[in-house]
Structure 1
Amino acid sequence: MGLPRFSCPKGGDAESSPHLYVANCGPAVGLSYDKIVSVFGTYGEVEGVYPADESGTRVIVSYRDKSSSQAAMKALNGHPCSGLGGRFLHIQYSVQSLGKVNDTAPLPVWTSAADLDIPGLYLMHDFVTAEEEQELLAAVDDRLWKHLAKRRVQHYGYEFRYDIRNVNTNHYLGELPSFMLPILERIRTCQTLDHVADISLDQLTVNEYPPGVGLSPHIDTHSAFKGLIFSLSLAGPCIMEFRKYTTGVWQEKPTSSYDMETQISEKNLNFIRKAIYLPPRSMLLLSGEARYAWHHYIPHHKVDRVNDNLIRRSSRRVSFTLRKVRGGPCHCEFPQYCDSQR
């Protein structure tokens, strides 16, 4: 293992700092990073939320100043948090380590989806040409970007609401832009994807990621979108990690199993972790189990380790994510990961 970005002093006897180590909190217990930010953000400006380890049940909440972390500590430590499903949070002050931020445990990074052995995951290299890539980038750069905390986005068809992780189906933004028509047609006629020929995609989110900015672990809300999610990577590469948690998912209320869930060693967790390299101009498809049961995550790195190679991320990476809005409850075969069935 490489050095962690943050550490918790032994015995918990740490002086106050802007960083909080929060246990019983994270994607493995059904709490998205966006939700954690919204709750802790009521006490001050949150600069970031990071995984404290690989368990998915502990996070680091990093504030801009100590007064904010002190207020959050006083209000939330050892108390049920209504904004996080009534969970009891166990909080300590944390300190930033001197080691490299991007050191991680060795993890094989595959270049083919077949090697990951995740049902429903597909990766098509060179889905667009270099010329088409530049045309698509120019098209979105001519349009208005919406600024989030660390990246820029555009929405078409329907706006994705990050505060509720869903879409407002009553607010239709119009048809997808004309510059996407060749891509939509290529999806429909791609022989590799013959089972999606009749799918009418109606929602597009364009994300621009600067160097070092990634994506928090999450599963796209089941009730928001149907079973196929396409993501086209342009301008730069990245690693996408997939995590499958088989215990503690969507557990909204505190239970007597808390100590077992948060203190069990990482190697004994029923937890699967795999990674794939997404080169520019590649198209990723999440369907079936890959879409409904696996968290996907882009590490917040400026340099990715792809097995024996170090690959520096470019000045920007732009993803085009295409989906079909559901407009009703989900009845998938993965109820433990499903917001409609939990």
Structure 2
Amino acid sequence: MGLPRFGRPKNGDELSSNLFVANCGPAVGISDDEIASVFSKFGELNGVYAADDSGTRVIVSFSDVGSAQSAFMALHGKPCPELGGRSLFIRYSVLQPNPQELLQSVDSRPWNSLAKRRVQHYGYEFCYDIRNVNTKRCLGELPSFLSPILERISSCPTFKNADPDRIVLDQLTVNEYPPGVGLSPHIDTHSAFEDLIFSLSLAGPCIMEFRRYGDGDWRPRVASSIDTKVDCPEDGSNCIKRAIYLPPRSLLLLSGEARYAWHHYIPHHKIDKVDGKVIRRASRRVSFTLRKVRAGLCKCEFPQYCDSQR
């Protein structure tokens, strides 16, 4: 699959476990091993890679963000005696997920066929008959091809001050949707997974619709111009709908009320309308859904939807 691909963070405040280091490399007589010996003092390294063809710029990849930050603060803009006294110019760099390589990785592994779509499970298997996971049967660590995605999630400014354990994800479900195949309305089982649910869309687009069903006590506090109260024919009750367009390479995050109280589903049709434009679904859409398996009972603020509190 080749060497990892790196790029400049889109957000200037985004930290990363990877550093772009200029003014060192084989073209100026400094080997990767010499560079590694300097940077490994700050933490465990994944490797040292050529940043381009110049021979004077490298990527130093750490196993964690904290080590990279320590190295950046200690070495950026300063002469380094161990590297010939050269001043190093450093900035953060991020792994760039390659959609085709991600798809090739899952396509090289066995799929499980459901009624209308195919799935793969990693970390823990999701059991559709009980809508939960068997926490006693771990399938192993998440595959290495997920590393670019996990790094982008952990380095997102949204989680800059978050508890690191909150974004440690250990379960992946890969879904492949043929044209016209969607997903029935549902809320991911509260007792199965923690608060954060990430879903990466690849290969093709779709519309995902969210529904908040009335329960007698709940009332929307703030009216929204994109919320509409409609009759939901599935059960005859009223609900509020909201639709989101998910293009390829988009990453959806569900948390809080959206995760615990809103049903989400993908309509079963081959054409979506977005801003008045007709968008035909691709020959396949593949989603990577990442979650953290819950160890205990759910204690969310939405007991009417919670299997742990019924």
Q: Name the TM-score, length of structure 2 as normaliser.
A: 0.61
- Residue 145 of structure 1 aligns with an amino acid whose one-letter code is W
> Using CA pairs below 8 Å that are at least 6 residues apart, which structure has the higher relative contact order?
1
Partner of 1:147: 113
> What is the deviation of 1:270?
4.1
> What is the deviation of 1:306?
1.3
> What is the deviation of 1:310?
0.6
Q: Larger radius of gyration, structure 1 or 2?
A: 2
> What is the deviation of 1:340?
0.6
- Residue 280 of structure 2 aligns with an amino acid whose one-letter code is R
1:321-340 equivalent positions in 2, closer than 5 A: 321-340=289-308
Partner of 2:242: 274
1:109-124 equivalent positions in 2, closer than 5 A: none
Indicate conservation of the 8 Å contact 2:95/2:151, yes or no.
no
Partner of 1:187: 153
Partner of 1:200: 168
The one-character-per-residue Cα deviations of 1:171-199 (angstroms, maximum 9, x if unpaired) are 10000000011211111011134336442
Gaps of 5+ in 2: 1-93, 218-229
The percentage of aligned residue pairs carrying the same residue is: 74
Indicate conservation of the 8 Å contact 1:247/1:270, yes or no.
no
Note closer, same or farther for the CA distance 1:288–1:144 as it changes in structure 2 (3 Å cut): same
The one-character-per-residue Cα deviations of 1:7-28 (angstroms, maximum 9, x if unpaired) are xxxxxxxxxxxxxxxxxxxxxx
Note closer, same or farther for the CA distance 1:215–1:196 as it changes in structure 2 (3 Å cut): farther
Partner of 2:130: 164
The one-character-per-residue Cα deviations of 1:255-302 (angstroms, maximum 9, x if unpaired) are xxxxxxxxxx93995411010100000000000111000000000010
> What is the deviation of 1:237?
0.2
Residue 273 of structure 2 corresponds to residue 305 of structure 1: yes
Q: Distance in 1 between matches of 2:286 and 2:210?
A: 20
Residue 187 of structure 2 corresponds to residue 222 of structure 1: no
- Residue 266 of structure 1 aligns with an amino acid whose one-letter code is D
Residue 209 of structure 2 corresponds to residue 241 of structure 1: yes
Gaps of 5+ in 1: 1-126, 250-264
Q: In structure 2, which of residues 249, 262, 272 is the aligned counterpart of residue 294 of structure 1? A: 262
Partner of 1:178: 144
Q: Report the number of matched residues.
A: 200
Q: Name the SS for the 1:321 alignment partner.
A: strand
Q: Name the TM-score, length of structure 1 as normaliser.
A: 0.56
- Residue 110 of structure 2 aligns with an amino acid whose one-letter code is L
Q: Name the SS for the 2:98 alignment partner.
A: helix
Partner of 2:74: none
Indicate conservation of the 8 Å contact 2:95/2:148, yes or no.
no
Partner of 1:133: 99
Q: Distance in 2 between matches of 1:233 and 1:282?
A: 6
The one-character-per-residue Cα deviations of 1:98-120 (angstroms, maximum 9, x if unpaired) are xxxxxxxxxxxxxxxxxxxxxxx
1:69-84 equivalent positions in 2, closer than 5 A: none
Q: Name the SS for the 2:296 alignment partner.
A: coil
Q: Distance in 2 between matches of 1:314 and 1:334?
A: 36
Q: Distance in 2 between matches of 1:307 and 1:280?
A: 17
RMSD: 2.1
1:58-77 equivalent positions in 2, closer than 5 A: none
